Amino acid sequence: MMKKIALIYMGGTFGCIGDPLSPMPAVDFIPQLQHVLPLDQHIECFVAPVIQDSSACTATDWLKLVQYIQQLQLQQFQHFVIIHGTDTLSYASAILARFLGQSSYVVLTGSQYPLLNSTGDNTREFSDAIDNLNFALDTVIKAPVGVYLAFHHQLFHAQTALKIHTSELDAFTGQKAEQTAQQATQSYVVQDADIQKAASFNCLSLMMQPIDLDQQVSNLQTIAQSPPHCLILQGFGSGNLAVNDPFMACLQNLQQAGCAVVLTTQVPFGGINQHYAISQWIQQSNILLSDCAGHADLYAKALKMYLQYDAVDQWQAHWHDHG
């Protein structure tokens, strides 16, 4: 029996027209999209709950998408292809992976060039849109259960995906689907209350710079005046940071104010380790260590923790339950 695929359109460059580019209304774009779909597959097109430039997407938009997918699962859909803008495609991929787990077959894709010409009445002469879409539609019925990102004839585990070029067709990297990778296994059923709560989610990532420790402390003190729910410290190398007593006091004050502090690394690949003497301070603090596949995945994990736990000590108690 031919597997049916739910093709969900969420905007992005893929569906833009004009000069300068602007989104084509979904009601006009979907019929044009249907013209280029392969005839040998059972594909039904859907419009995502929110369509906008991906740089404007937030947690609520992606949770609405997860909820929409979970509703379609109740209608016997198990294979999903998502068309999404590339700016935050890694974040969308990580969130879908964290919240859908291995409950279905999901492939996200997008394009560096629009599908249609500037007038929107025919396909564009040069575009990666059709290739990326066809590749995603092909792989979604062949790949093992889970969430993936398909781009430029490469299929990556969604939690590991990273955009590495602003304009080249080969714009993403990550662990390829045939490689063993960290994957969330349990799904999380998104409720309306989760979407409402996510609207208030405040996550701040601080890429540490090689400046004097007094300036580092001053920056943390400024953040502590209005602390986020989660502060991500991007350290050097494998997660190294130089600290002193005032720095440690700032972290303690942030935690007491309800801010979960997470240490990660600025380096895209390899993760963190604490083999250096400069990092012995971690053993004396309650700072959380990232065990995530990348920065977007860390954001996705922090969002999920925020929805499930209200107190910092709960984050600390359950952090590694959600690897």
Dist CA 128 CA 136 (whole Å): 12
Whether residue 246 sits in one domain with residue 131: no
Helix axes 89-100 and 59-73, enclosed angle (nearest 10) = 50
For residue 277, is pLDDT > 80? no
CA distance 319 to 316: 5
Model confidence pLDDT, tens digit, residues 251-263: 999 999 999 999 9
pLDDT digits (tens, 9 = 90+) for 38-88: 999 999 999 999 998 899 999 999 999 999 999 999 999 999 999 999 999
Do 84 and 141 lie in a common domain? Answer: yes
Boundaries of domain holding 233: 202-322
191-203 residue pLDDT tens: 999 999 999 999 9
| Per-residue confidence band for 281, with pLDDT thresholds at 50, 70 and 90 | confident
Structure tokens at 36: 């280029």
What's the chain's length in residues? 323
Inside any domain, residue 180? no
Of the three residues 126, 157, 173, the one that is the final residue of a domain is: 173
Cis bond before residue 20 (omega within 30° of 0): yes
Q: Same domain for 166 and 253?
A: no
Mean pLDDT, rounded, for 297-319:
96
Residues 211 and 282 in one domain: yes
Q: Which residues contact 278 (CB under 8 A, 6 or more apart)?
A: 240, 241, 242
Residues 307 and 254 in one domain: yes
The annotation status of 55 as a binding-site residue, yes or no, is: yes
- 66 and 148 co-located in one domain: yes
Same domain, 112 and 25: yes
In a domain, 183, yes or no: no
Q: Residues 37, 163: one domain?
A: yes
- Looking at 123, 157, 173, the residue that finishes a domain is 173
pLDDT at position 275: 56
Q: Let me know if residue 46 belongs to a domain.
A: yes
Are 166 and 244 in the same domain? no
- Which stretch of 180-184, 231-235, 278-282 has the lowest confidence by average pLDDT? 278-282
- Which CATH number is 140's domain given? 3.40.50.1170
Does the pLDDT at position 274 exceed 90?
Answer: no
Tell me, what DSSP letter sits at residue 116? Answer: B
Share of the chain above pLDDT 70, in %: 97
- The reply to whether 187 falls in a domain is no
| Domain count for the chain | 2
pLDDT at 228: 98
Residue 101 φ/ψ region, left for φ over 0, alpha for ψ in the -120 to 50 degree band, beta for the rest: left
pLDDT the model gives residue 272: 79
Whether residues 151 and 246 fall in one domain: no
Nearest to 96 by CA among 133, 65, 55: 65
Q: Which helix (H) or strand (E) holds 8?
A: strand 4-9
Q: Mean pLDDT for the chain? A: 93
Contacts of 142 by beta carbon, 8 Å cutoff, 6+ apart = none
Per-residue pLDDT for 276 more than 80? no
87 is in an annotated binding site: yes
Helix (H) or strand (E) holding 45: strand 42-47
Strand partners, 207: 234
141 in any annotated domain:
yes
- The β-bridge relationship of strands 79-83 and 105-109 is parallel
Q: Please give the structure tokens belonging to residue 257.
A: 């104010």
Confidence of residue 296 (pLDDT cuts 50, 70, 90): very high
Asked which of 154, 173, 192 is the last residue of a domain, the reply is 173
Residue 238: is its pLDDT beyond 90? no
Residues taking part in catalysis: 13
Q: Residue 47: how many CB atoms within 10 A of its CB?
A: 15
pLDDT attached to residue 19: 87
Residues 208 and 144 in one domain: no
**Chain centroid, CA 27 distance in Å:** 27
pTM: 0.95
Tokens of 295: 């920065």
**Rounded-to-integer distance, Cα 22 and Cα 31, Å:** 18
Task: Classify residue 35: in a domain, yes or no.
Answer: yes
Which among 196, 187, 154 has a CA at the least distance from the CA of 172? 154
Residues 27 and 152 in one domain: yes
CA triplet 176, 9, 96: central angle to 5 degrees?
45
Position 239 scores a pLDDT of: 86
Q: Say what percent of the chain tops pLDDT 90.
A: 85
Closest of 105, 114, 117 to residue 7, by C-alpha: 105
- Asked if pLDDT for residue 284 goes beyond 90, the answer is no
In a domain, 181, yes or no: no
Tens digits of per-residue pLDDT, 137-170?
A: 999 999 999 999 999 999 999 999 999 999 999 9
Q: What is the pLDDT of residue 6?
A: 98
Looking up residue 242, the CATH number of its domain turns out to be 3.40.50.40
Residue 90 lies in a domain: yes
Question: Mean pLDDT across the stretch 297-320?
Answer: 95
CA dist 294 and 292 (Å) reads 6
